[in-house]
Structure 1
Amino acid sequence: METARLRLRRFTPADAPALAAYRSDPEVSRYQSWESPVPSAEAERLAATLSAGDPRDPGWFQYAVERLDVPGLIGDVGVCRSDDGRQAELGFTFAPEFQGRGYASEAVARTVEFLLVKEGLHRVSAACDGRNVRSARLLERVGFRREGHLVRSTWIKGEWTDDVLFGLLASEYPARTRTRTRARKDGHGPP
């Protein structure tokens, strides 16, 4: 898949060093399930495993994200298809130097479009740690609605954390996305 600035593709073994670098950053791993640092050998195994998956099979498939102008891994978008293939959950992780530039929004929006329009899924969902305000805002920006807030529902890294739940139905897309974009341009929506 491509956007104006990005390519979402299958992982390759060559992605391992960049994967280890950004997943080892404590700020990147703060709201994620893995511990940092991520050793090179673990990143090599992970890149090899991720390169072998089928994006249409049930379960998780991780897309590597790179810029079109300068190839090289800048982040990843994960899609977890349900067993019946009608729904998916997504998640995303980006290297710190590529955050705040719209790359994650662009990659997530393209993935959502692919899943709901091209693949014909009924629904896409996402969840994030309640403290991860930037990820929550990104999900709302690309059209997701907040559907729930689970208080102290996940034990991770030695503490209970909240989960914020998001969803987007195919029947709402792209109308919900257009409404969010128009509201931002008019100054009536979140940035």
Structure 2
Amino acid sequence: MLLTTERLILRRFRASDAPVLSAYRSDPEVARYQSWEAPFPLERAQIAVRNFAAGSPDKAGHFQYAVELAAEETLIGDVYVRLHDNLRQAEIGFTFAGPYQKRGFATEAVSAVLDRLFGRQGLHKVTGECDARNVRSAALMERLGFRREGLLRQQTFLKGEWTDDLLYGLLATEWRGRPEDRPRRPVSPRA
């Protein structure tokens, strides 16, 4: 399973990705609003990569796309999908290495995954959730057409404090209904 965009390859994780995953997840700024603590040891990254590689993007459960910068063949981040048992809904999340943030890569990668989820897989709705202080993640979801559906006050106890969570949702009709408005690059699926 592979998705490609103008600049990116979204693929299954492989064992050789563990050191890079460990490195970017060990960055305190990358980990700030995430569930893991920095540093993210290599041993933990090796286990994570094995688990990521075992998933299927077409079956209910968790799947993590490795996002590679095509020109450099470098892992720059990941996009998470949890496909619900009904195969009609999913949750999405994303993490990108610091040097590859603010360059449109996350928008491009998440757009490719949304194209697959809504187009090829026929999903009805995709949701996203982020720490309310994570304004860049919230902005990315809003740029992609997600609507803010709620605020859960002091919902998550994370790194020693209670945090508020923002809830976002995107319907298939909203994604398909405004392709000319979406900030994305051409996407082509490959088997």
Higher strand share: 2
What's the counterpart of residue 70 of structure 1? 72
What's the counterpart of residue 189 of structure 2? none
Task: List alignment gaps of at least 5 residues for structure 1.
Answer: 182-191
Mapped to 1, the partners of 2:48 and 2:175 lie a distance apart of 33
- How many residues align? The count is 181
For 1:117-145, what per-residue CA distance to the aligned partner results, in whole angstroms no more than 9, with x for missing partners?
Answer: 11100000100000000000000111111
Name which of 93, 96, 104 aligns with 2:95.
93
Is the aligned partner of 1:61 residue 2:72?
A: no
Q: Which moved more, 1:123-132 or 1:36-45?
A: 36-45
Same amino acid, percent of matched pairs: 55
Mapped to 1, the partners of 2:181 and 2:25 lie a distance apart of 34
Question: 1:180 deviation in Å?
Answer: 5.9
Question: 1:84 deviation in Å?
Answer: 1.0
What's the counterpart of residue 148 of structure 1? 150
Task: List alignment gaps of at least 5 residues for structure 2.
Answer: 184-191
* Residues 81 and 90, structure 2, Cα contact 8 Å, conserved in 1: yes
Segments of 4+ moved more than 2 angstroms: 174-181
SS of match in other structure, 2:4? coil
Mapped to 2, the partners of 1:169 and 1:121 lie a distance apart of 8
What's the counterpart of residue 27 of structure 1? 29
Question: 1:173 deviation in Å?
Answer: 1.6
Question: 1:179 deviation in Å?
Answer: 4.1
Q: What's the TM-score once normalised by structure 1's chain length?
A: 0.91
Mapped to 1, the partners of 2:159 and 2:122 lie a distance apart of 37
Structure number with greater CO (CA < 8 Å, separation at least 6) is 2
| Letter of the structure 1 residue corresponding to residue 21 of structure 2 | L
Q: Which moved more, 1:42-51 or 1:116-125?
A: 42-51
Question: 1:113 deviation in Å?
Answer: 1.1
